């Protein structure tokens, strides 16, 4: 009976894995088939490096370079703010915080993770955008800066939760050995615990980056949604919001171009994930040495 159940469970897990692979393949094939025709018709250079998006004009233009650069700058800015804050918060909660503080802050972090994107966008639109307009004396606070701040807050739960799990999993004997050799607590945490948990911390960063790149609703509400070349205090449009705001009424070449944007976004995410996985693999090899 035990062997039969073992085979059944193995088959079930194999089926789940195959379904996951099939979903990825279907999405990939669909995006390629839907997105390539528009790129071929518009021209790869004009589409990827054109600086003007005017899909509803009498003479339509389909240049998505502003969207690509905005997504890159927005994601990089969110990482620049969110990763250090999330990392140091995770180290504090895992190694330094009293149990009561860890429970309270952990609850708040979990609450942040459960808040819908539209709520982040609403709060940003009502409080952050007017604040940026007032502080920097702008005509409109909806800008790349507002989107970066919102995205940085949104990626914190992924980074913090995964990093805490990785740090808590580091064997205590590593830390005890370092302390016995004369290292201080902070030296032990940052030179022993953190390197040992590096792969887990990087996994949290990957999850955070994935959320930052793929977010649409929140940034749509705070970025201004104008297809400008990105400026920190200017209204901008991300790849995700470009698709979301026009898909409901698009038709013909315009609709095909939106699928092409989705294909570019998909490739963009894949490349970043591959790059981060290379970094993680390199870190693991270094730790093994």
CA atoms within 13 A on the CB side of 261: 30
Which two structure tokens, joined as six digits, stand for 257? 């171009």
Which two structure tokens, joined as six digits, stand for 150? 């919102």
Between 273 and 117, residue with greater pLDDT: 117
User: Are 192 and 178 spatial neighbours (Cβ–Cβ below 8 Å)?
Assistant: yes
CATH 1.10.3720.10 fits 45-288, yes or no: yes
Which two structure tokens, joined as six digits, stand for 268? 């963009």
Per-residue pLDDT band for 180 (boundaries 50, 70, 90) equals confident
CA pair distance 89, 96, nearest whole angstrom: 10
CA pair distance 96, 162, nearest whole angstrom: 17
Backbone phi and psi for residue 53, each to the nearest 5 degrees, phi listed first: -115, 110
DSSP state of 289: -
Q: Which residue has the tokens 């090899």?
A: 285
Domain ranges of the chain: 45-288
DSSP state of 143: S
CA pair distance 205, 8, nearest whole angstrom: 36
Average pLDDT over residues 243-265: 89
pLDDT of residue 201: 87
Please say if the pLDDT value at position 92 is more than 80. yes
User: Are 272 and 213 spatial neighbours (Cβ–Cβ below 8 Å)?
Assistant: yes
pTM score, whole prediction = 0.87
Please say if the pLDDT value at position 52 is more than 80. yes
CA atoms within 13 A on the CB side of 221: 19
Closest CA to 92 of 194, 202, 204: 194
Alpha helices in 43-64 (DSSP H): 44-49
User: Are 90 and 160 spatial neighbours (Cβ–Cβ below 8 Å)?
Assistant: yes
Closest CA to 264 of 236, 242, 280, 231: 242
Which two structure tokens, joined as six digits, stand for 236? 């901008």
pLDDT of residue 85: 93
In three-state secondary structure terms, 53 is: strand
User: Are 175 and 193 spatial neighbours (Cβ–Cβ below 8 Å)?
Assistant: yes
Please say if the pLDDT value at position 60 is more than 70. yes
CA pair distance 116, 258, nearest whole angstrom: 25
Closest CA to 55 of 263, 240, 246: 246
Report the chain's mean pLDDT, rounded to a whole number: 88
Cβ of 84: how many Cβ atoms within 10 Å?
Answer: 12
Average pLDDT over residues 200-227: 87
In the chain, count H helices and then E strands: 14, 2
User: Are 261 and 242 spatial neighbours (Cβ–Cβ below 8 Å)?
Assistant: yes
């Amino acid at each position: 009976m035990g062997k039969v159940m073992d085979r059944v469970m193995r088959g079930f897990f194999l089926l789940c894995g195959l379904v996951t692979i099939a979903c990825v393949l279907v999405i990939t094939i669909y995006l390629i088939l839907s997105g390539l025709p528009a790129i071929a018709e518009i021209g790869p250079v004009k589409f990827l490096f054109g600086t003007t998006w005017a899909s509803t004009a009498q003479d339509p233009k389909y240049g998505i370079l502003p969207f690509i650069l905005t997504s890159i700058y927005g994601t990089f800015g969110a990482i620049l703010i969110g990763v250090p804050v999330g990392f140091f918060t995770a180290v504090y909660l895992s190694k330094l915080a009293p149990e009561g503080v860890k429970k309270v802050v952990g609850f708040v972090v979990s609450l942040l993770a459960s808040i819908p994107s539209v709520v982040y966008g609403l709060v940003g639109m009502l409080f952050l955008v007017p604040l940026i307009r007032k502080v920097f004396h702008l005509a409109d606070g909806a800008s790349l800066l507002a989107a970066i701040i919102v995205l940085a807050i949104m990626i914190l739960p992924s980074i913090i939760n995964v990093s805490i799990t990785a740090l808590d999993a580091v064997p205590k004997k590593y830390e005890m050995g370092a302390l016995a050799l004369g290292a201080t607590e902070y030296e032990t945490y940052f030179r022993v615990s953190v390197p040992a948990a590096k792969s887990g911390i990087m996994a949290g960063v990957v999850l955070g980056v994935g959320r930052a790149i793929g977010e649409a609703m929140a940034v749509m509400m705070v970025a201004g949604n104008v297809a400008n070349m990105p400026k920190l205090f200017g209204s901008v449009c991300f790849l995700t919001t470009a698709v979301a705001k026009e898909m409901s009424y698009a038709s013909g070449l315009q609709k095909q171009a939106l699928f092409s944007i989705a294909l570019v976004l998909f490739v963009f995410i894949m490349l970043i994930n591959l790059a981060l996985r290379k970094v993680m693999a390199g870190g693991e090899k270094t730790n093994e040495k």
